[in-house]
Amino acid sequence: MTPIFDTHAHYDDEAFDPDREELVGSLPERGIALVTDIGAGIPSSKAAQELARRFPHVYCALGVHPSEIDDLDEAAYEWLRREAAADPKCVAIGEIGLDYHWEKDRAAEQKEAFARQMELAREVGKPVVIHSRDAARDTADLMKACNARDLGGVVHCYSYEKEMAREFLEMGFFFGIGGVVTYKNARKLVETVEFLPMEAMVLETDCPYLSPEPNRGKRNSSLNLPFVVSKIAQIKGIEEEEVRRITWENAHRLYRL
Instruction: Name which of 219, 155, 212 is nearest 178 in CA terms.
Output: 212
- pLDDT tens digits, 155-188: 999 999 999 999 999 999 999 999 999 999 999 9
pLDDT value of residue 257: 97
Q: What is the DSSP string of 175-206?
A: EEE-GGGGSTT-HHHHHHHHHS-GGGEEE---
Q: What b/e string do you get for 140-165 counting C-beta neighbours within 10 Å, with b at 16 or more?
A: bebbeebebeebbbbbbbbbbebebb
- pLDDT tens digits, 54-87: 999 999 999 999 999 998 999 999 999 999 999 9
Nearest-angstrom CA–CA distance, 92 and 156 = 13
pLDDT value of residue 19: 98
Which class in CATH covers the domain with range 4-254? alpha beta
Note the pTM of the prediction, 2 decimals.
0.97
Residue 105 has pLDDT above 90, yes or no: no
Q: Is 87 helix (H, G, I), strand (E, B) or coil?
A: coil
The full set of domain ranges for the chain reads 4-254
- pLDDT tens digits, 123-139: 999 999 999 999 999 99
Instruction: Name which of 69, 60, 163 is nearest 110 in CA terms.
Output: 69
Can you say how many angstroms the Cα of residue 170 is from the centroid of all Cα atoms in its chain? Answer: 19
- pLDDT tens digits, 14-61: 999 999 999 999 999 999 999 999 999 999 999 999 999 999 999 999
Can you say how many angstroms the Cα of residue 1 is from the centroid of all Cα atoms in its chain? Answer: 24
Cβ neighbors of 104 (< 8 A, separation 6 or more) are 134
User: Using an 8 Å Cβ cutoff, are 92 and 140 in contact?
Assistant: no
Nearest-angstrom CA–CA distance, 161 and 158 = 9
